[in-house]
Amino acid sequence: MQVGVVGLGRMGLGIARRLFCRGHQVHGYDRDPCKRSQATETGIACSESLPGLIGRLGSPRVVWLMLPAGCSTNETIETVSRLLDRGDILIDGGNSFYRDTARHAEHLQQKGISLLDVGVSGGIRGENVGYCLMIGGEREAYEKIHPIFRDLAPEGGYAYVGRSGAGHFAKMVHNAIEYTFIQGLGEGFELLRSSGYGYDLASIAALWNNGSVIRSWLLELVSEVLRDSPDLEDVRGWLADSGEARWALQEAIERDVPAPATAISLIMRLRSRQEDSFSAKLIAKLREAFGGHEIKKRI
């Protein structure tokens, strides 16, 4: 099939290359000429503008957006919608908020353009082993282009999950669960490290990945990371969050669904960005004031 990929970052370029290697006609566009050049080196035909990309595609056009959630995706959807025709299919493969997705889908439907929202998991290794794809939107549009999803995913790694927004909602929850997994691994391995037993942490991770109930790809990565750098000397414990856990927590509150693990995992990411939190300093002073407890002074 023929597909245009907009956004040739780590994930977008991986998707474009995987499709290209499986015989699809792939055209690419990115605002960054360096990323276009990188894609061109692998055989992907790139355009210098969105209109140029759309003009290269045969009808009905299939355009896959792989952009950061929020303004970048919203503005590009608006721009691309003016370039597409009735019967064309637009795919949002970024981590967009599902309510934004539903709003875009309704607007595009009035123009006869189908929007599929695809939650994509697999990270940068998905190009080689396949991506897990959670696909929402019009089922008819999904059926028309399902070979694209089939060739991007490993066996059993893609599915149509429901109406517009369902794919992005599923990815939102997926990422919230990921937060809690990672938080648990971080805490557990720090406890092992402080135990006094002198564990080889990489070996423990590898051991647990053979038969234990917590075996996973994340444990494989723990083993790899700690084998390369057992003490992580060059790493700051500064953690970003991409938004999905915040949205998931908001949804849980609105729906009266208890999600304490998600909440704590998100809060710990916020805490990681503080060199020395004001709240911790205030608590230390309060303990000194009411109980005479010692406080640590900055040197």
Enumerate the active-site residues: 171, 178
Do 162 and 53 form a contact (C-beta atoms < 8 A)?
A: no
- In this structure, the strands spanning 158-162 and 132-137 are parallel
Give which of 239, 227, 228, 226 is closest to 190, Cα–Cα.
226
Q: What is residue 294's three-state secondary structure? A: coil
d(CA 259, CA 248): 9
Residue 146 contacts by C-beta under 8 Å, 6 or more apart in sequence?
none
b/e burial code for range 205-226 (CB count within 10 A of at least 16 → b):
bbebbeeeeeeeebbeebbebb
CA pair distance 244, 72, nearest whole angstrom: 16
Q: Which residue from 50, 33, 40, 73 is spatially nearest to 242, judged by alpha carbons?
A: 73
Distance, C-alpha 148 to centroid of its chain: 19
β-pairing, 45-46 vs 62-65, is unpaired
Q: Which amino acid is at 225?
A: V
Q: Which residues contact 94 (CB under 8 A, 6 or more apart)?
A: 7, 65, 66, 67, 68, 69, 73
Dihedral sign, Cα of residue 189, residue 248, residue 158, residue 92: negative
